Amino acid sequence: MRDYGGRDAAAAADLLVLGACVVVALLGYVLPRPFAAEVVTTLRQTALRPAVALRERAARDRISRFALAGIQASRDSLALRVMRDSTLRRENVALRRLVGLGEATTMPWVGGAVLHQPSATDGLTLSLNVGREDGIHQFDPVLTADGLLGYIWSVAAQSSVVLTWMHPDFGASAVTADGAILGFVQPVSVGRLGHPMLELRGVALSDSLSDGAEILSSGLGGVFPGQIPIGRIVGIEPDPLGYERLYRVAPHTNPGTISHVMVLTTSTEDGSVATGTGESPP
């Protein structure tokens, strides 16, 4: 007997929605990456806008409820660091004036909250609650208090997507803390379980690094500024071709546990900065 309670109509509607989702997924799979990014951005701004708003609200609620202790601890440690470094800053300013140098340049930044999504790509890409209206641009570097996280991959009006260091397309020019050895870091899967790490490549056989050596961004390439912490050397792997040394790097940041980020931005057209300006991390 036909169900007149409306369940047949609801089931048909669910099938239509499922079919539309399958079609969109197939299009996203076969389209080139720039076009797929535009499709994803359009969907987030239209059909998925209520879901994005709910996820943003849930993220704010989670942060306000569970991250308060961590925020207070970070604030206290930052206050201690500012007090400890105030003397060094005054000495630095005095020395720069003594040798005729101007004030040190600073880079504006915008703070954003991470909207984690329970999916297989969580960690490879992350969604932020800030976008073009906040002064965010494509390829802007994204940092945390611990170090480099990635860069902006796509931007919408009020949201953006970060490509983290775990993504296969990530890469950054790197240098040791003393500036003696240059290289290039890329993600790599380690072990039978495929544990994500970074690999420092391009180091000559005549150079060697010890475990624990600090790796920073070099500033080459035009995406990441220099002197941003990336990770530490934790081992060496043999090069099958024997042309270079391959070093395992343990990153300082874990994309799966991050709640807040800093996006290093450029100035707006009128020369002002949208929000959250300040000095970039050392």
More confident residue, 157 or 9: 157
| pLDDT one-digit tens code per residue, 83-136 | 666 667 777 777 877 887 766 656 788 988 888 665 655 678 999 989 999 999
pLDDT above 70 for 73: no
Residues of the chain above pLDDT 70, percent: 69
Euclidean distance between the first and the last CA atom of the chain, given in angstroms as a whole number = 72
Measured CA to CA in angstroms, residue 90 lies from 11, 96, 271 at distances of: 70, 10, 28
Same fold for the pair 49-66+106-165+257-264 and 172-252: yes
pLDDT above 90 for 252: yes
Give the torsion through C-alpha atoms of 16, 21, 26, 27, to 10 deg.
100
- Give the per-residue pLDDT at 122: 67
Least confident of 7-16, 248-257, 258-267: 7-16
Distance CA 161, CA 151 (A): 9
| pLDDT one-digit tens code per residue, 176-199 | 998 889 999 999 998 788 889 999
| Strand 245-251 to 195-203 pairing | antiparallel
Position 276 confidence tier, pLDDT thresholds 50, 70, 90:
very low
| pLDDT one-digit tens code per residue, 30-60 | 767 666 677 667 766 676 677 767 777 777 6
More confident residue, 234 or 237: 234
Position 14 confidence tier, pLDDT thresholds 50, 70, 90:
confident
- Give the per-residue pLDDT at 270: 41
Distance CA 200, CA 281 (A): 23
| Cβ 161 vs Cβ 152: under 8 Å | yes
- Give the per-residue pLDDT at 233: 95
- Give the per-residue pLDDT at 266: 67
Scan for tokens 């961004």, then name that residue.
217
pLDDT above 50 for 159: yes
pLDDT above 90 for 162: yes
Domain locations in the chain as residue ranges: 49-66+106-165+257-264, 172-252
Distance CA 125, CA 116 (A): 9
pLDDT above 70 for 137: yes
Q: pTM value?
A: 0.65
pLDDT above 60 for 275: no
- Give the per-residue pLDDT at 253: 93
- Give the per-residue pLDDT at 63: 62
Beta strands in the chain (DSSP E): 109-115, 125-128, 141-143, 148-155, 160-164, 172-176, 182-190, 195-203, 214-217, 229-237, 245-251, 260-264
| Mean pLDDT on 124-149 | 92
Mean residue pLDDT of the chain comes to 78
Does domain 172-252 fall under CATH 2.40.10.350? My reply is yes
Radius of gyration of the chain (CA): 23
Position 15 confidence tier, pLDDT thresholds 50, 70, 90:
confident
- Give the per-residue pLDDT at 215: 95
| Count of alpha carbons within 13 angstroms of residue 184, beta-carbon side | 9
Q: What is the CATH number of domain 49-66+106-165+257-264?
A: 2.40.10.340
